[in-house]
């Protein structure tokens, strides 16, 4: 092991969160401070001295040797190591020893999303869900995706409390192309690949891909490290989002099931995805996350719905991405009610570039958005704007001439496509692009084929005014800025698919939203990102956006909750997250829906934005069993054959009753060819708090919606006690305004408030027009 001295900044926070070594007997990690002035003369380096000290402790029968973790040379002088009580006592008796203390967990300065989720700031209970759950210790998260890059620091087990794989684990690390079985460890405990269906169709794995669990694209490494990656100091995307990258459940275990290959198709992939889910269930994962989806079909032909039902029956929580087909209604994917469907939201972080108009540094400064990886400031570049020609102003196709544009930065007003504008500027020999944007088109970092800064239309007007009034306009640009605390946040990403779901619109989807915009996580380091001049760029960590990034955030939260409450069912965990989710942003306004920044609705954000600390102590929950979902399928008028296909039950019967009214933490009224409707719901709440409690109901409802709850107060005994209630929702004379067919429906909220207590159990009530 290479015990490098770490720089001063971040050492304590990083190491206090990274516990190494095994946990057999009483062995545990300690941080040991030493007096370097006491270093014996034969030693020339502190590390040599520390290594000698640890080596002198070895040799006792049946006692594991000390495991040296780190050497400190700046924040303090000393080292950390995994020691037995006897070994620690012996060090304490040595000359030069100053002090020793056991490893603790600190609140890290991460690449933002754990902090934005409140994990680093405490919350419910003493310190929040991170310490309460031991950071997701030993919960196994299975990811079905494009594979994993095992050498990434995010998959190192150096910080695991114990490297020993849980005895209940039945998985394996399969060898294959560029992937050895020895590449798994205490963090990445399983890796398999599934490509038989791909090969059966005669589709060869592309040359840049691997016939193994190794990631070729980066997506799988990104999602898995987001859910449960180890802490990695100094991670960034070429300086953007610099910090310590850590997964939401950093002490959880990871297992990768590669089922998506380069050149794959939906048809060939479906069998492979189902095989991956099947193997994950057999291996013993506790949580399964899929950031992919197939065209929406009935549940009996949807492999994700089928696999997820089997997983749910085994107590495995399944979370899936909602899809990136927003922002219209009825675009949700993976909407089966036994799946937790996750939409994407922004966080309070933006990546910026500063544009200075005019020569020198004294001109007007405009703050734009960019993730272009250029550290060298661009000074006094020529700036072009096609004033007087609308096509040139918008940089339309074939509008710019090389004679006018070559070597210059080009300003473009809002056009149809930023990608087309970049192509046009690049084709005309332009050096870079400053574009006024309404932010309705989202770009990934790999889309930045040239220097690009996005500014608001109002800033764009200021640039227009400057260029038209200046004879030889110049511009300077400084990239690689990261701004925190941005308001408002969160907001629902414009690409995030919206509800209702086509297959079962009576269930509100998405269930919840989580961070999914500009998320930094592990990537494949051998894949070219872009070229700047003649230099090819590669990245170990990548900024990516999509509901693909949101689902693993929830998978990580579920790992924390499963660790803190191992007796909770998948439905209880989902209920805990939904009823404690928040619907107001950091400016104390309703979460907005992008790109129009209009107030969001539950069809955009479900029950709200996930709040891990609150979810660990929800007070009351809505539980559901596999039998409840069978009755739901009966309510959808599925045949016995269809129900058997979904549930695996040979003698599936609807004799016990067809019922679309699941015991779900939300209420949905579908207006089918009508402007009014009345629906009554029945629900049962379970007390998961530690004591008896009384709750009273409160309702907020818009005009045209009347809500009656019976009874209006519930009294619960101790933990596990149940109480039922009914809700009647009357929706009357709902009309679309004029020809506004984007309007779908209205909403309110029902909340059970603990009398004299802290718990507030909130559920959305939504009315929506049928598709």
Residues noted as catalytic:
145, 219, 548
Contact 227, 141 (CB under 8 A): yes
The candidate with the shortest Cα–Cα distance to 604, out of 533, 479, 512, 726, is: 512
For 438, phi then psi, to 5°, come to: -90, 5
- Is 320 strand, coil or helix? strand
The candidate with the shortest Cα–Cα distance to 28, out of 82, 66, 68, 72, is: 82
- Is 471 strand, coil or helix? coil
CA–CA separation, 446 and 557 (whole Å): 29
For 191, phi then psi, to 5°, come to: -155, 120
Find where tokens 């009753």 sit: 657
The candidate with the shortest Cα–Cα distance to 307, out of 194, 222, 398, 388, is: 194
Structure tokens at 550: 């949101």
**CA atoms within 13 A of residue 267's CA, in its CB half-sphere:** 4
Per-residue buried b or exposed e for 1-32, using 16+ beta carbons within 10 Å of the residue's own CB: eeeeebeeebbebbbbbbbbbbeeeebbbbbb
- Is 37 strand, coil or helix? helix
DSSP states of 433-461: EEEE--S-S---GGG-SS-EEEE-HHHHH
Give the count of beta carbons closer than 10 Å to the beta carbon of residue 300: 17
CA distances from 748 to 328, 436, 601, 611, 676 (A): 20, 37, 9, 20, 16
CA–CA separation, 553 and 685 (whole Å): 27
Q: If you compute the radius of gyration of the chain from its CA atoms, what whole number of angstroms results? A: 28
Structure tokens at 5: 């001295």
CA distances from 354 to 346, 367, 449, 610, 747 (A): 21, 5, 19, 33, 41
Find where tokens 């209604």 sit: 329
CA–CA separation, 569 and 317 (whole Å): 8
Contact 345, 516 (CB under 8 A): yes
DSSP states of 124-161: STTT-HHHHTGGGTT-EEEEEES-B-TTSGGG--TT-S
Contact 521, 225 (CB under 8 A): yes
Per-residue buried b or exposed e for 233-270, using 16+ beta carbons within 10 Å of the residue's own CB: bebbbbebbbbbbbbbbbbbbbbbbbbbbbebeeebbb
Please state whether the peptide bond connecting residue 474 to the residue before it is cis, i.e. omega within 30 degrees of 0.
no
Q: Which residues pair with 680 in a beta bridge?
A: 728
Question: How many whole angstroms from its chain centre is CA 491?
Answer: 15
Structure tokens at 721: 């006690």
- Is 652 strand, coil or helix? coil
């Amino acid at each position: 092991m290479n015990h490098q001295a770490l720089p001063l900044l971040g050492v304590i926070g990083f190491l206090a969160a990274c516990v190494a070594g095994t946990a057999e007997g009483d062995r545990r990690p300690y941080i040991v401070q030493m007096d370097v002035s006491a270093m014996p003369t034969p030693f020339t380096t502190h590390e040599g001295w520390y290594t000698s000290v640890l080596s002198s402790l070895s040799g006792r029968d049946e006692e594991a040797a000390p495991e040296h973790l780190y050497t400190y040379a700046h924040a303090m002088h000393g080292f950390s190591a995994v020691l037995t009580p006897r070994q620690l006592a012996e060090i304490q008796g040595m000359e030069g020893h100053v002090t020793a203390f056991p490893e603790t967990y600190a609140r890290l300065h991460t690449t933002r999303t754990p902090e934005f989720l409140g994990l680093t700031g405490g919350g419910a209970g003493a310190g929040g869900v991170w310490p309460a759950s031991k950071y997701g210790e030993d919960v196994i998260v299975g990811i079905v995706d494009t594979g994993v890059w095992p050498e990434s620091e995010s998959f190192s087990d150096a910080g695991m409390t114990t490297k020993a794989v849980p005895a209940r684990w039945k998985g394996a690390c399969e060898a294959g192309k560029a992937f050895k079985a020895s590449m798994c460890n205490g963090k990445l405990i399983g890796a398999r690949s599934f490509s038989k269906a791909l090969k059966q169709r005669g589709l060869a794995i592309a040359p840049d891909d691997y016939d193994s669990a190794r990631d070729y694209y980066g997506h799988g490494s990104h999602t898995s490290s987001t859910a449960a990656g180890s802490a990695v100091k100094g991670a960034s995307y070429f300086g953007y989002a610099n910090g310590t990258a850590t997964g939401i459940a950093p002490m959880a275990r990871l297992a990768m099931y590669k089922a998506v290959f380069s050149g794959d198709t939906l048809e060939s992939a479906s069998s492979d995805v189902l095989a991956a889910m099947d193997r994950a269930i057999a291996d013993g994962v506790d949580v399964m996350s899929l950031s992919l989806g197939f065209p929406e079909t009935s549940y009996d032909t949807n492999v994700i719905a089928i696999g997820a039902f089997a997983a749910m029956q085994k107590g495995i929580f399944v979370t899936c991405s909602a899809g990136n087909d927003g922002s219209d209604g009825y675009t949700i994917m993976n909407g089966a009610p036994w799946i937790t469907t996750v939409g994407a939201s922004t966080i309070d972080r933006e990546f910026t570039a500063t544009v200075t108009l005019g020569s020198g540094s004294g001109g007007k400064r405009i703050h734009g958005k960019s993730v272009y990886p250029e550290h060298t400031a661009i000074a006094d570049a020529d700036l072009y704007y096609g004033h007087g020609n609308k096509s040139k102003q918008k940089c339309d196709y074939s509008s710019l001439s090389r004679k006018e544009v070559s070597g210059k930065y080009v300003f473009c007003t809002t056009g149809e496509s930023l990608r087309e504008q970049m192509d046009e500027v690049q084709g005309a020999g332009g050096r870079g692009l400053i574009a006024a944007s309404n932010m309705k088109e989202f770009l990934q970092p790999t889309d930045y084929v040239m220097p690009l800064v996005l500014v608001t239309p109002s800033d764009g007007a200021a640039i227009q005014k400057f260029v038209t009034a200046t004879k030889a306009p110049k511009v300077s640009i400084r990239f690689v800025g990261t701004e925190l605390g941005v308001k408002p946040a969160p907001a629902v990403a414009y690409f995030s698919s919206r509800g209702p779901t086509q297959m079962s619109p009576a269930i509100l989807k998405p269930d919840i939203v989580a961070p999914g915009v500009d998320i930094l996580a592990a990537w494949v380091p051998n894949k070219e990102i872009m070229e700047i001049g003649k230099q090819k760029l590669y990245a170990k960590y990548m900024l990516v956006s999509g509901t693909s990034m949101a689902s693993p955030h929830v998978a990580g939260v579920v790992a924390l909750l499963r660790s803190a409450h191992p007796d909770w069912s998948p439905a209880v965990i989902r209920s805990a997250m939904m009823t404690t989710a928040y619907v107001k942003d950091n400016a104390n306004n309703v979460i907005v829906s992008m790109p129009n920044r209009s107030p969001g609705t539950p069809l955009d954000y479900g029950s709200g934005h996930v709040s891990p600390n609150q979810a660990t102590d929800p007070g009351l929950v809505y539980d559901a069993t596999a039998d409840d979902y069978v009755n739901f399928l009966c309510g959808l008028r599925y045949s016995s054959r269809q129900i058997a296909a979904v549930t695996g039950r040979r003698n599936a019967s609807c004799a016990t009753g067809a019922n679309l009214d699941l015991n779900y933490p939300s209420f949905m009224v579908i207006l089918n060819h009508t402007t009014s409707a009345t629906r009554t719901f029945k629900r049962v709440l379970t007390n998961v708090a530690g004591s008896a409690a009384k709750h009273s109901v409160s309702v907020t409802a818009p005009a045209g919606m009347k809500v009656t709850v019976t009874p209006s107060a519930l009294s619960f005994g101790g933990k596990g006690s149940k109480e039922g209630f009914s809700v009647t929702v009357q929706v009357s004379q709902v009309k679309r305004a004029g020809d506004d067919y984007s309007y779908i429906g209205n909403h309110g909220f029902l909340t059970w408030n603990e009398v004299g207590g802290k718990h507030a159990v909130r559920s959305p009530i939504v009315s929506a027009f049928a598709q």
